[in-house]
Chains A and B, each alone.
Chain A
Amino acid sequence: MSRLDVRKTYKLYIGGSFPRSESGHTYEVLDTEGRFLANAAKASRKDGRDAVGAARKAFGGWSARTPYNRGQILYRVAEMIEGRHDQFTSDVVSAEGLSTQQASKVVDAAVDRWVWYAGWADKLAQVTGNANQVAGPYFNLSSPEPTGVVVAVAPQDDSLLGLVSVLAPVIVSGNTAVVVTSYARPLPAVTLSEVLATSDVPGGVVNILTADAADVAPWLAGHLDVNGLDLTGVDDASLATDLEAEAAVNLKRVVRPSRPDWAAEPSLSRMTAFLETKTVWHPVGV
């Protein structure tokens, strides 16, 4: 007797747990050939609101950890992605229509990318901070601080490497993230949420919404408790412009790159985009 298929209905990842969408909606995820893969929860604006609440709650603890500790936690996540190499590879094969060999290389690149960003956790302050020159008996120090809750719309095509390249730079510096995944290719993100749930990353630091960005992004862009917005995965130019206008209401930091090449060596720009510089004076000899 042949075994029955286990047909999966994946859920969202909010505040460290896996809730269904508040709306009850799901949608079918198909592979590049149009065959059924799984059902995914279709996040609504209220799921977005809950995710922002969870991210805000987690921000204090995550940003207060030492950069070294954040780095260690993120390294461990990279190890766990590596541990699920086969699962990620098969996710990428069905999502992006690559050969197994090509998909395996994408997973390798994603792990390397995560490690690269994790390494920056305790080095950012040295590079982006400064001991400013002053003409007096005091120090004047500039140091980078995380900006807060960042909403990132992950790339629509590059479902794993693009996702990792968008998410890692946000959280490495102490921000917390709400990620809206690729709508058509959400499964690598779902697998990543399973990795994060069993890692040492505290619940709420990363919240993953499988959703149509056109549904939830306007609400998140206008949300007054969100501090940064990454529009990388918004392909519709007029929607992106609307979102930027909405984000301007409370002066969110906005990233809107044009079609980045994920295979290229990354720069610091994605990390510095969500940092703020605090400058303090301190007397000498006290």
Chain B
Amino acid sequence: MTTTPTDLGNAADVRTVLGDLSGVDQVGLEARAAALATRSIKKDAKRTAIDLAISMVDLTTLEGSDTPGKVRSLAAKALRPDPSDPTCPRVAAVCVYPDLVGTAREALGDAPVGVASVATAFPSGRAPLEVKVIDTEYAVAAGASEIDMVIDRGAFLAGDLQKVYEEIVAVRAACERPDGTHAHLKVILETGELATYDNVRKASWLAMLAGADFIKTSTGKVSPAATLPVTLLMLEAVRDYRDAFGRQVGVKPAGGIRTTKDAIKYLVTVNETAGIDWMTPTWFRFGASSLLNDLLMQRQKLKTGRYSGPDYVTID
């Protein structure tokens, strides 16, 4: 297996690094996640957490029925999540299918909100590498600032790590722009299909070694999607990876995070596991759609002292 040009020195190759990973203590991991989920975050801390969570949201629409109109309204919401409150922060990005990247970019204008595009035959990833590369190049050319790729879970489970690795490297190369910059590559592991925590750890390291800028839990199309233990495990992986190779990688849980309470549990876990360096939209994201409305309702509750309701946020 070849090594990436960036992270690995001459000392080790990918197979050695993956072989040195220890197994995951399942009971310990789940107990740790459950313990972190009990923290009570109230008042000013909650206010800060809600604003941070809003600024970390990748506002997502990934349906077969997506229309340009829906993407434009999503973009409008990304720019002004709460039109009644100018102090409400913007979200990090909108996340759409490749053919709608142009529409999203146009609707967002020059605003500092990214356009993330899923690519590589999302959500299954069942397409030849050439198709995946073209899919990616199309999205980058259309103006995507971030690419969310899926790994080939079939190959991973069959033990063909070489194939998974080379696909990520190829897609990472397709993210390059002519001016020398590159669209940020998020690698979706689809942890709900990887069966074991050991596999999640291995896949995380494999993706990072292949050049991922972000590792992402799920497509949102498979249940279970993001869970707290899995995210905790991936946060440990990015922390250890930075210690080992000096490069910081972001984490994005996606799917199934619907309430402010959940989002705050994730933020606690980020802070306690990876550390304060990851507590920014640059290094941590939520892939979500309905989460944003709940965050906005909680924000209104803290501001006015009254419980808010779904009549006061958009219907998506």
Check B305 against A224 for contact (C-beta < 8 Å). Answer: no
Check B305 against A225 for contact (C-beta < 8 Å). Answer: no
Name the B residues within 8 Å of A52 (CB-CB).
307
Q: Which residue, B305, B309, B312, has most C-beta atoms of chain A within 10 A? A: B309
Name the A residues within 8 Å of B311 (CB-CB).
224-225
User: Is A119 interfacial (CB 8 A cutoff)?
Assistant: no
User: Is B64 interfacial (CB 8 A cutoff)?
Assistant: no
Name the B residues within 8 Å of A223 (CB-CB).
306-307, 309
> Once the chains are docked, how many angstroms separate the CA of A249 from the CA of B300?
14
| Candidates A49, A56, A222, A226; contact of B305 at CB < 8 Å | A222
> Once the chains are docked, how many angstroms separate the CA of A224 from the CA of B298?
12
Interfacial residues of chain B within 257-316, with CB under 8 A of chain A in the complex: 305-312
Contact size range, B: under 10
| Candidates A56, A219, A225, A246; contact of B308 at CB < 8 Å | A225
Q: Specify the chain A residue showing the minimal Cβ separation from B306.
A: A222
Q: Specify the chain B residue showing the minimal Cβ separation from A222.
A: B306
CB distance from B131 to the nearest CB of A (A): 42
Check A219 against B309 for contact (C-beta < 8 Å). Answer: no
> Once the chains are docked, how many angstroms separate the CA of A52 from the CA of B311?
14
> Once the chains are docked, how many angstroms separate the CA of A281 from the CA of B312?
29
> Once the chains are docked, how many angstroms separate the CA of A226 from the CA of B312?
12
Name the A residues within 8 Å of B310 (CB-CB).
56, 225
Name the A residues within 8 Å of B307 (CB-CB).
49, 52, 219, 222-225
Name the A residues within 8 Å of B305 (CB-CB).
222
> Once the chains are docked, how many angstroms separate the CA of A232 from the CA of B182?
66
Q: Specify the main secondary structure of chain A where it touches its partner.
A: helix
Mask: chain A, 119-145; 1 = CB below 8 Å from B; 0 = not: 000000000000000000000000000
CB distance from B73 to the nearest CB of A (A): 22
> Once the chains are docked, how many angstroms separate the CA of A56 from the CA of B309?
10
Mask: chain A, 190-229; 1 = CB below 8 Å from B; 0 = not: 0000000000000000000000000000010011111000
> Once the chains are docked, how many angstroms separate the CA of A225 from the CA of B312?
9
CB distance from A275 to the nearest CB of B (A): 19
CB distance from A109 to the nearest CB of B (A): 36
> Once the chains are docked, how many angstroms separate the CA of A202 from the CA of B310?
22
> Once the chains are docked, how many angstroms separate the CA of A56 from the CA of B310?
10
Interfacial residues of chain A within 245-283, with CB under 8 A of chain B in the complex: 246, 249
Check B309 against A249 for contact (C-beta < 8 Å). Answer: no
Q: Specify the chain B residue showing the minimal Cβ separation from A249.
A: B306
> Once the chains are docked, how many angstroms separate the CA of A168 from the CA of B52?
45
Name the B residues within 8 Å of A222 (CB-CB).
305-307
CB distance from B42 to the nearest CB of A (A): 12
CB distance from B312 to the nearest CB of A (A): 6
Mask: chain B, 43-55; 1 = CB below 8 Å from A; 0 = not: 0000000000000
> Once the chains are docked, how many angstroms separate the CA of A224 from the CA of B307?
6
Name the B residues within 8 Å of A246 (CB-CB).
306
> Once the chains are docked, how many angstroms separate the CA of A207 from the CA of B97?
43
Q: Which residue, A223, A225, A249, has most C-beta atoms of chain B within 10 A? A: A225
**Seed contacts A222-B306, A224-B306, A225-B309; 20 additional CB < 8 Å A-B pairs:** A49-B307, A52-B307, A56-B310, A219-B307, A222-B305, A222-B307, A223-B306, A223-B307, A223-B309, A224-B307, A224-B308, A224-B309, A224-B311, A224-B312, A225-B307, A225-B308, A225-B310, A225-B311, A226-B309, A249-B306
Enumerate chain B interface residues (CB-CB to A < 8 A): 305-312
18 A-B interface contacts by CB (under 8 A): A49-B307, A56-B310, A219-B307, A222-B305, A223-B306, A223-B307, A223-B309, A224-B306, A224-B307, A224-B308, A224-B311, A224-B312, A225-B307, A225-B308, A225-B309, A225-B310, A225-B311, A249-B306
